Structure 1
Amino acid sequence: MSLKQQASGGAEVDERLAALVTNANAVRAIASAVEGTLGPKGLDTMLVDKFGEVVITNDGVTILTMMEANHPAARMLINIARAQQEEIGDGTTTATVMAGAMVGAGVEQVARGVPVARVIEGLRAGVRRGLAAMQERACPVADVNSPDLRRVALVAGRGHDDIADLVVRAAGLIGREKLLDRAFKLADTVVAEEGAENQVFMGVIINKEPVNRQMPRELNGVPVLVIDDALEPEEIEEEALATEAGFARYMELQNQFRENVQKIIQLQAGLVLVDRGVDDAAEEMLTDAGIMVVQRVANKELRRAAEHTGARMIKRTGLKKDLPQLAACLGRAGRVYNDEKLEHVQVLDGGGKPMATVLVGAATGEVVGERERIARDAASAVQAALRGGVVPGGGAVELAVAREVEQVRAGMRGMAAYGVDCVVEALKRPLAQIVSNAGFNPLEKIGDVIAAQVETGNDALAVDCDTGRLADMRELGVVDPLPVKTYAFKAAGEIAEAILRIDTIIKKREEKSEKDTG
């Protein structure tokens, strides 16, 4: 073969790998943005927008979703992290770091001449075995009083004892049955407020104040009415008002509305929560009757309040019902309190389903958001642990699983074995990054941990980031929820496969609107 032919062949290979290398570099860049936050010694990241507004956080998903990322492959990875957050609520940094390692190792194998199809084949086999191995090592969490829940909350809560205690107390109040409900998210019960005292209580917070200061500040043992609509008269078109019949209809609606408001007073409702605005006349009538009214309540808060008090949400037209029917729609609250300092209303001891609120205090406005993110992570981890059990943390279980995945390689024929190597590399990555962030040599420590796990048969061994010595993660109280691990590992495998399968990048033509073509 001539030099010209060799050069031509090399150019074709480079061109074929161009899309893969470009995508891999984008994924690596995203992974490097969050890997420094991993582990107990992980550091914070500062995000700055064009106006100079600053967010300082250690939360992986916050960094990923707020950072500027224009590359399509980078956005794919960010979407995977977002999906992990929505489904599990924790583990986004681990998923991102493993995905970056898996893609990087896959590109190296392809560059060496291993066909992409064979890499993907081995990758799939490795991920399947890895998921099964993780499941085998899980210990179930018996109930909400298990010490493992406190340990999980402390790890996910980045060592904040006060937050871990709050979250575990909330889990105990809510109970196992509710926590196992897929539609319920313990993280949604978390609220952080500047100047607030840490507390957990049976009830919900409405982040609005009463319509005016003449309304009661505190109520005890009162019926609650929840209106998923505006507390205003039905509207009539302006054109209709110009006619005699239209004006008569308008007056009829006004009178009917006043009668409906009078029904609320007759029902002796103490608290009225309204989705939208409240008419001035209604406000005056309800104020005179000593009723607390809160308007423009967020829909999520409205629903939580209805569920906790046992109220059935109604529309404004529902007020036309007779008194016995309306009475059936009322809920009940043991106590309603307007906290003027924190500018919210607490609805406590409802007559419906148990609903706890975790109120996390923060000294300044700058740390409110981060305290809330930490508490939400801890809450999500606690719920995941109860659902799926726990495994040793600190990268221990991934390293133990990596040894089992290596055994899959020995049983594979052909080049698919190189795909298994990509999975092994990804499984080693969390411990390597945790150790590196703690200031130790990752290559040395990984070798030490693998040797110790094999020698002792203890898969919970990893590195104590305070001392650098090997330690049993369970004895140190470092445990992670199994669903966090499995979802992160599975997500990493999916994004790696998706990136490796992209052979060509083509810019889409811009779709012209009908206006432009017309």
Structure 2
Amino acid sequence: MSALPGNLAFDEYGRPFIILRDQDKEKRLTGTDALKSHIMAGRTIATTLRSSLGPKGLDKMMVSSDGDVTVTNDGATILKLMDVDHEIAKLMVQLSQSQDDEIGDGTTGVVVMAGALLEQAETLLDKGIHPIRIADGFEMAAQCAIKRLEQIADNFPIDLNNLEPLIQTAMTTLGSKIVNKCHRQMAEIAVNAVMAVADLEKRDVNFELIKLEGKVGGRLEDTMLVRGVIVDKDFSHPQMPKELKDVKLAILTCPFEPPKPKTKHKLDVTSVEDYHALRKYEQEKFSEMVQQVKDTGATLAICQWGFDDEANHLLLQRNLPAVRWVGGPEIELIAIATGGRIVPRFEEISADKLGYAGRVKELQFGTTKERMLVIEECRNSRAVTIFIRGGNKMIVEEAKRSLHDALCVIRNLVKDDRVVYGGGAAEIACSIAVAEEANKISSLEQYAFRAFAEALEAVPLALAENSGLSPIETLSEVRSRQVKENNPALGVDCMLKGTCDMKEQHVIETLHSKKQQLVLASQLVKMILKIDDIRSANESEGY
């Protein structure tokens, strides 16, 4: 047998095989050691996110390998951008992502909750309780907490004539975000956007009809809701009118150019006459295409492809304003908004396929040459665009993420109109209920119940800590008042408004989000507690 440099070797028949080196240094973690390793990784991730929880939570700056900077306190975004090696830490990242995909909010809270459960599980393991009994106890406790959430939830009827409660809910979501300096304005924009596209009979919201567009420059306060579509393009010719009214749009996915054969082709121009004949043919074709569009009564052509200067000049001469290089998603959104049909060939264009918009205008920004096109007062006004302004790219991107969270919360309320109160009030109420249930259990699971009750208090503790309050004193006071007054709306006064009643402060969270956090956190912890064997080539790398 001959060995080559590296890990590849050949036997006497010339067949290659791989040699695994350093087998003597390989380590294997089993049993409690493996579980402790998992718990340490999960707790590290949770501790990182803990300081970002709540309205006074701090932001994180993430710098990618190529130097891109992101400043955010959105849990899902932080974890997505973190460079994580440990497999259990990757599960925590996926936990936050699944909360974001399903709910859109509570991505930090769910990770803090899972970290607190892992911390409690470690204490129970040290007492000698089997991990399966702990996992089963946590699952039972989660069901008990969800039952308590159902009891304390308030109905939240959605009334199009009174959007104030929805706005208050959106303001709760935006309270911890960078946009909180104009946070009522942003909440109103989010509510109006969702209400414009919501189908209240089916209790459904089509997010495809809400588009978020951002442009650097201006202030956050300049952010506006456009009941139509904004396209990051301008009119194809600078002399075309900058504003059009009562517009009939021809939406084209065919280019303004002479037809070409599908196969490879070559044309030799050998004389001046041939050149003139070719040029005349092209002019006739351009003229015919423009006339076909004009004959339908169209007053604006929106084209997915480009066209050359000759076609552009001809469009200007024939008084047919045009926009070129409009992307596929924008084309589809314009078609939905204006009620038009996308036309793939000039021969198929007709008056009944045109879309309608009350106004199309070109926006200009500051001293730059950047322009955008706004299509408003459409036939199908359900398509809306939130146009975000900000001092730099980071602020615009964070405002987009913040508004996405607010949109998701309002959508959840349309689907399920039950709410609980924030500021840790719901968690404290559930903690009290789970602790009381533990006293009724005679089996070993009572320890897991009490541990779950303690883990639930991690959220209000973190909120108090991040708000500069004394965590233990604040939690003890709120907890005792909840028991005495039987008021599950009492939470941590993070904004120092002088009352702990979250109902008075209008700090509202959706029931659906809270339930999902409990379910996902308990499921993940159960999965981690069932893994008791790790094999690693080097214990210090990744474990």
The TM-score with structure 1 as length reference comes to: 0.83
Name the amino acid aligned to 2:129.
V
- Equivalent residue, structure 2, for 1:247: none
For residues 101 and 111 of structure 1, what CA distance do their matches in structure 2 show?
A: 16
- Equivalent residue, structure 2, for 1:360: 388
Which protein is richer in helix relative to its size? 1
Q: Residue 13 of structure 1: CA displacement?
A: 12
- Equivalent residue, structure 1, for 2:87: 72
Secondary structure of the structure 2 residue equivalent to 1:37: coil
- Equivalent residue, structure 1, for 2:136: 121
Q: Deviations over 1:283-332 (max 9, x none)?
A: 44434333343333344333222211112234x24x332x5xx3332211
Among 351, 360, 381, which residue is 1:336 paired with? 360
After TM superposition, the structure 1 = structure 2 runs for residues 251-400 of structure 1, keeping only pairs within 5 Å, are 259-278=288-307, 282-314=311-343, 316-317=344-345, 319-321=346-348, 323=349, 326-341=350-365, 343-389=371-417, 390-400=419-429
- Go from structure 1 to structure 2 and tell me whether the alpha carbon gap of 1:270 and 1:42 turns closer, same or farther (over 3 Å shift): same
For residues 483 and 282 of structure 1, what CA distance do their matches in structure 2 show?
A: 55
Name the amino acid aligned to 2:401.
R
1:220 aligns with 2:262: no
Q: Residue 417 of structure 1: CA displacement?
A: 3.0
CA contact 2:198–2:206 (8 Å) conserved in 1? no
State which drifts further: 495-504 or 389-398. Answer: 495-504
CA contact 1:391–1:480 (8 Å) conserved in 2? yes
For residues 447 and 211 of structure 1, what CA distance do their matches in structure 2 show?
A: 66
Among 229, 246, 249, which residue is 1:204 paired with? 229
Name the amino acid aligned to 2:396.
V
1:153 aligns with 2:170: yes
Q: Which runs of 5+ in 1 are unaligned?
A: 1-11, 244-250, 509-518
After TM superposition, the structure 1 = structure 2 runs for residues 348-497 of structure 1, keeping only pairs within 5 Å, are 348-389=376-417, 390-467=419-496, 471-497=500-526
For residues 101 and 292 of structure 1, what CA distance do their matches in structure 2 show?
A: 61
For residues 345 and 307 of structure 1, what CA distance do their matches in structure 2 show?
A: 17
- Please give the root-mean-square deviation of Cα atoms over the aligned residues, in Å: 3.3
Q: Deviations over 1:2-50 (max 9, x none)?
A: xxxxxxxxxx997312332222222222222221111121112122234
CA contact 2:209–2:382 (8 Å) conserved in 1? no
- Go from structure 1 to structure 2 and tell me whether the alpha carbon gap of 1:379 and 1:425 turns closer, same or farther (over 3 Å shift): same
Q: Residue 141 of structure 1: CA displacement?
A: 3.2
Secondary structure of the structure 2 residue equivalent to 1:499: helix
- Go from structure 1 to structure 2 and tell me whether the alpha carbon gap of 1:136 and 1:227 turns closer, same or farther (over 3 Å shift): farther
Among 60, 80, 85, which residue is 2:100 paired with? 85
- Go from structure 1 to structure 2 and tell me whether the alpha carbon gap of 1:148 and 1:186 turns closer, same or farther (over 3 Å shift): farther
Q: Residue 264 of structure 1: CA displacement?
A: 1.9
Percent of aligned pairs with the same amino acid: 28
After TM superposition, the structure 1 = structure 2 runs for residues 85-104 of structure 1, keeping only pairs within 5 Å, are 85-104=100-119
The TM-score with structure 2 as length reference comes to: 0.80
- Equivalent residue, structure 1, for 2:193: 170
How many residues are matched? 487
Secondary structure of the structure 1 residue equivalent to 2:376: strand
Name the amino acid aligned to 1:135.
E
CA contact 2:133–2:445 (8 Å) conserved in 1? yes
For residues 320 and 358 of structure 1, what CA distance do their matches in structure 2 show?
A: 36
CA contact 1:186–1:383 (8 Å) conserved in 2? no
CA contact 1:449–1:461 (8 Å) conserved in 2? yes
For residues 464 and 485 of structure 1, what CA distance do their matches in structure 2 show?
A: 19
Q: Residue 454 of structure 1: CA displacement?
A: 0.9
Secondary structure of the structure 2 residue equivalent to 1:447: helix
For residues 260 and 448 of structure 2, what CA distance do their matches in structure 1 show?
A: 65
Secondary structure of the structure 2 residue equivalent to 1:391: strand
CA contact 1:273–1:295 (8 Å) conserved in 2? yes
- Go from structure 1 to structure 2 and tell me whether the alpha carbon gap of 1:461 and 1:192 turns closer, same or farther (over 3 Å shift): farther
Q: Residue 422 of structure 1: CA displacement?
A: 4.4
Name the amino acid aligned to 1:386.
V
- Go from structure 1 to structure 2 and tell me whether the alpha carbon gap of 1:439 and 1:50 turns closer, same or farther (over 3 Å shift): same
Name the amino acid aligned to 1:21.
K
Name the amino acid aligned to 1:156.
T
For residues 156 and 371 of structure 2, what CA distance do their matches in structure 1 show?
A: 41
Higher Cα radius of gyration:
2
- Equivalent residue, structure 1, for 2:204: 181
Q: Residue 252 of structure 1: CA displacement?
A: 10
Secondary structure of the structure 2 residue equivalent to 1:79: helix
Q: Which runs of 5+ in 2 are unaligned?
A: 1-26, 269-279, 538-543
For residues 198 and 245 of structure 2, what CA distance do their matches in structure 1 show?
A: 25
Secondary structure of the structure 2 residue equivalent to 1:262: helix
For residues 124 and 188 of structure 2, what CA distance do their matches in structure 1 show?
A: 47
Secondary structure of the structure 1 residue equivalent to 2:356: strand
Name the amino acid aligned to 2:494.
C
- Go from structure 1 to structure 2 and tell me whether the alpha carbon gap of 1:338 and 1:474 turns closer, same or farther (over 3 Å shift): same
Secondary structure of the structure 1 residue equivalent to 2:534: coil
- Equivalent residue, structure 2, for 1:501: 530
Q: Residue 491 of structure 1: CA displacement?
A: 2.0
Name the amino acid aligned to 2:489.
A
Secondary structure of the structure 2 residue equivalent to 1:461: coil
- Equivalent residue, structure 2, for 1:48: 63
CA contact 2:29–2:534 (8 Å) conserved in 1? no
- Go from structure 1 to structure 2 and tell me whether the alpha carbon gap of 1:203 and 1:353 turns closer, same or farther (over 3 Å shift): closer
CA contact 2:204–2:415 (8 Å) conserved in 1? no
CA contact 2:213–2:230 (8 Å) conserved in 1? no
CA contact 2:200–2:414 (8 Å) conserved in 1? no
Secondary structure of the structure 2 residue equivalent to 1:102: helix
1:105 aligns with 2:86: no
Q: Residue 232 of structure 1: CA displacement?
A: 5.5
State which drifts further: 171-180 or 357-366. Answer: 171-180
Name the amino acid aligned to 1:204.
V
State which drifts further: 254-263 or 205-214. Answer: 254-263
Q: Deviations over 1:458-514 (max 9, x none)?
A: 100012124496510010111112222222222222222222222223579xxxxxx
Secondary structure of the structure 2 residue equivalent to 1:131: helix
CA contact 1:397–1:459 (8 Å) conserved in 2? yes
